[in-house]
Chains A and B, each alone.
Chain A
Amino acid sequence: MVKLSDALRGAADRAPLDGVTISTHAAARRVSLHRGLRGTATGIVGATAIGVIALGVIGPNGISSKQQGVDDGSMTAAAEAAPSLQDSGAGLDSSAGSQNLASGTRLAFGLCGQQLETTIPAMAVDNPVSLELEAPAQVDPGGSIPATVNATILQHMRPGDENVEPAVGPRQVVTTAPSAYVTWDGITVASVPAESIYAYGPADEQLPNPNADLTVFAGAPGESQSFAVDMPLNNCWDGAPLPAGKYELFVTQGFYESADASNATPEPVPSETSTAATRSGGPTTSADEILAADGTYYEVNATTGFAITGDQVDDPFAQYLGEPQPPVEPSTEPTVDPPTDGPPPVSLPDGSLTPGVARQLYAAGLTNAPWDMAAGTQRWLLTNDSLVLYDDAVPYDENAWAESYFGCAMEGQTDGRFPSRSAQLDLLDVGGEFPTRIGVSYGWVVDGNPTFALTARNVSDYTLNNFASPLNSQLYLLKDGVVVAEAYGVNPAQNGGAVMFSATDNAVLGGIESRNMYKIVSPDAYQVPALVPGASVDSTFLWRDINGCWQGERQATITPGVYTLVSSQYVPVGSSQVYYEEQGIQPQSGINEELVDPFGGDSSAVAPNIAVDPAPAPGQFDSVDLQVWTSFGSITVS
């Protein structure tokens, strides 16, 4: 006998992973994004800061002057803001709350020439800090814009978890100088990022960043400190003065709040600040001690508009925005490189269904009428849209998928019914031949050796590129309109993937004349390069099993009875590289094909090569995913 643990470790060692790699670049980019999403602000913008005591300590980056004091006026403003946010649902998932927070919930990442807008979900607690940003409404070109950032502690967090109730009692907070960005039409055109709070030592230990201009908030909520920002008005490409026009100034600031700093040994604040400080009380510990303790990190931002005087020019940054640019130094957390040089965006062949047309067709076919699931009827769902999914300006809604989801109810997040809004499109005719009765025992289909066939025929005027073949179809058994089980067909050709293409006209596969049938031996036989109008693809499957939906912690048992049988089929439209790009995976650049006669006849003809477009460069894609649902009527399970 062997040990299961040994067998598992051996299996892991022998895993067929040749060529499979991890892209730290893609992961780092997403980590940077997530780390930036860890905070929010009160949305107080452009409020007047009064009574700030400027100390004029020039920060190491040359643009920040730490100021300190208690601002009665701003404290009042902040204190007033908090209850208003509470009333409006701040920190909740409601759209009303999010809208009220909109001006303060965009965080800057600051890549030169990149859209700065990043909307983040509101935290589930009231905001810990308010930022007030004051800057002149107009400035002259060629200089800088002086601004004041006033940070006020509204309440303390319970360290380590920003999504729970705030802590009670004084705690201590460390912050660094604000990072500042100037945007034109939402695009970063100038930036001066600050040093992050943390640095890492030789043993990966986390240390206060010696280059950061750290400031300690040592008191109870209400304590306020101000920071001066002198933002040079030079563009981030070549340092040329920003031309006349309207801009926005963004600032973002990181805070670290310790869990146990109140128990730490009190220590005087640094001399350059203590002389002018008017703190609201409480023991003071050094930044090192606070940062050494467990705690919570969050970021806050604020924005205000301003104008550079002079004659405005049209499209003032056209010469810089036409191509990818080298990165600028990121803000509190270094971020990743911008899109690298790559091939141009995928251009679809003439006559192809484009994402834009697909969106129009879908919008035109939308209906609120319930789907009666009569045999032979279809409904379409738009399950993914790159314009929404990858647009930083569109708030990510983690529950949005449920609006276009049909299938086994996911842990109670859906009611299992077909979405209320779907579309009727004349795009793809899906046909099927199924047994009228199947025997099921413990999830296995035991009635002989049943097969079923699926056919997908392009009935539109457009070519469907990168069409997901019937091998991707999934079957569902429905009871009273609710999915109770799902099944996949098993390809009887266990040879690495083969699809039979039966052409009804002269071209199925990207222009190949198909007077025969083709066996595609492909790394991804589940995708057809092109399905031209009128062409069809069909496959026959073995029906091996039926998987009852998981309901909570148990899987549903398929009981005898009459069910409605439906299938789903994905129709990706566009560059279809969103997933690969996101994961840093370059898709296969081509397929191998061989012409065969499935009936043993002459197969000497040589098929021409199939051109497959290269993957688009990161960020250069446009795609939507459609999903067609087809009902095949009733099937009896015995």
Chain B
Amino acid sequence: MTDWRDTMNELVRNRERALLGYAYLVCGDPTQAQDLVQEALVRTFSRPRPGLTAGKAEGYVRRAITSVYIDGYRRSQRWQRVQYLFKPAATMRDEFGAVEAGSDVADALATLPPRVRACVVLRYFDDLTVPAIATTLGIATGTAKRYLSDGLGQLELALGSFDDVAHGDSPATTRGAQRRTPSADASARENSTPRTSEGK
């Protein structure tokens, strides 16, 4: 007889790596990814869902990963308790250097604020529409658009242009680009070199 526990086990057995990878993309930290998937599983299976199969459950879990991530960022007590384990410095990532180097999309993603990062992942990994993103994250459609615009602007600064990014949201017309004024970039460049050289 199959019950929710069997469904959960099947899902984790077959899709553990994929779920963790997705969560890593969302949060940028392996340990936090583990926490996200665990929490998402609890959320997904805590509610009786008639006819839930492992395949369907994966969709629920992926949605829950992003919402758990955002909720955790907002207010989770447990996350506050262990936040020092997940703070950016803990991963030893030089955020500024990552933007300058533009070496890896994961590094570039890590420079984005949590909600911006979630929007980008939902849009370009999950292929959700902007309204669907807004619904998933519980934010206004306009806000989701702005987050996407900001996020894409910052990613393209680091990684260059993308084929599948609509140019209506291109960095040149976004707040993300505007945040990078020439003077700010100049200052950043001035500061980036010695910082990188000290990081040895």
B-contacting residues of A (Cβ < 8 Å)?
Answer: 1-5, 7-17, 20-24, 26-28, 30-31, 34-35, 38, 198-206, 292, 294, 297, 334, 383-384, 389, 398, 400-401, 405, 407, 410-411, 413, 441-442, 444, 446, 448-449, 468, 471-472, 474, 488-497, 524, 526, 542, 544-545, 550, 553, 555, 570, 579, 582-585, 625
* B interface residues, tally (CB under 8 Å): 90
Are B96's CB and A585's CB within 8 A? Answer: no
Given contacts A1-B160, A444-B188, A492-B199, 18 further A-B contacts (CB under 8 A): A12-B25, A15-B24, A23-B38, A24-B12, A28-B45, A34-B42, A34-B46, A206-B50, A442-B179, A444-B187, A449-B195, A472-B87, A490-B94, A491-B92, A494-B92, A494-B199, A553-B143, A585-B34
Closest 8 CB pairs of A and B: A472-B84, A34-B46, A12-B21, A401-B77, A15-B24, A494-B199, A200-B2, A4-B162
Selected from B19, B74, B160, the residue in CB contact (under 8 A) with A411 is B74
Q: A497-B92, A583-B38 are in contact. Are A441 and B87 (CB under 8 A)?
A: no
Q: Which chain B residues have a beta carbon within 8 Å of chain A's beta carbons? A: 1-9, 12, 16-22, 24-25, 30-31, 33-35, 37-38, 41-42, 45-48, 50-54, 74-75, 77-78, 80-82, 84-85, 87-90, 92, 94-96, 104-106, 109, 113, 115, 120-121, 124-125, 127, 139-140, 143, 152, 155, 159-165, 179-181, 183-184, 187-188, 191, 194-195, 198-200
A residues within 8 A CB of B4? Answer: 31, 200
Given the complex, which residues of B lie within 8 Å of A413, measured CB to CB?
Answer: 75
Pairwise interchain contact A20-B30, C-beta atoms closer than 8 A: yes
Contact of B52 among A35, A204, A449, A494 (CB under 8 A): A204
State whether A526 touches B139 (Cβ < 8 A).
Answer: no
Measured in the bound complex, the distance between the Cα atoms of B113 and A302 in whole Å is 48
Q: How far is the CB of A557 from chain B (nearest CB, A)?
A: 10
List of B residues within 8 angstroms of A15 by Cβ: 20-21, 24-25, 30, 33, 106
Residues A583 and B41 in contact, CB atoms below 8 Å apart: no
Docked CA distance A579–B34 (Å): 12
Q: Are B12 and A3 in contact (CB under 8 A)?
A: no
Query: In the complex, which of the residues A8, A400, A489 contacts B89, with contact meaning CB atoms closer than 8 Å?
Result: A489
Q: Which residues of chain B come closer than 8 Å to A489, judged between CB atoms?
A: 89
Mostly, the B contact residues are helix
Q: With A5-B124, A542-B195 given, is the CB distance from A22 to B80 under 8 Å?
A: no
Given contacts A3-B164, A383-B81, contact A334 B89 (CB under 8 A): no
Contact call B38/A334, Cβ cutoff below 8 A = no
Residue numbers in A under 8 Å from B199 (CB-CB): 492-494
Task: State the CA gap A342–B114 with chains docked (Å).
Answer: 38
Knowing A384-B77, A488-B88, the reply to whether A334 touches B3 (Cβ < 8 A) is yes
Q: Which residues of A contact B3 (CB under 8 A)?
A: 198-200, 334
Q: How far is the CA of A30 from the CA of B42 in the complex (A)?
A: 6
- Asked if B38 contacts A202 (CB within 8 A), the reply is no
Q: Given known contacts A17-B17, A472-B84, A526-B84, is B89 in contact with A444 (CB within 8 Å)? A: no
Given the interface pairs A12-B21, A22-B20, A545-B95, the reply to whether A198 lies near B37 with Cβ below 8 Å is no
Say yes or no: B124 contacts A8, CB within 8 Å. yes
Cα distance A625–B7 when bound, in Å? Answer: 36
Contact of A9 with B5 in the complex, beta carbons under 8 Å: no
Contact of A20 among B20, B45, B95 (CB under 8 A): B20
Least CB separation from A31: chain B residue:
B45
Interface centre among A1, A24, A411 (most CB of B within 10 A): A24
CA distance A170 to B139 in the complex (A): 37
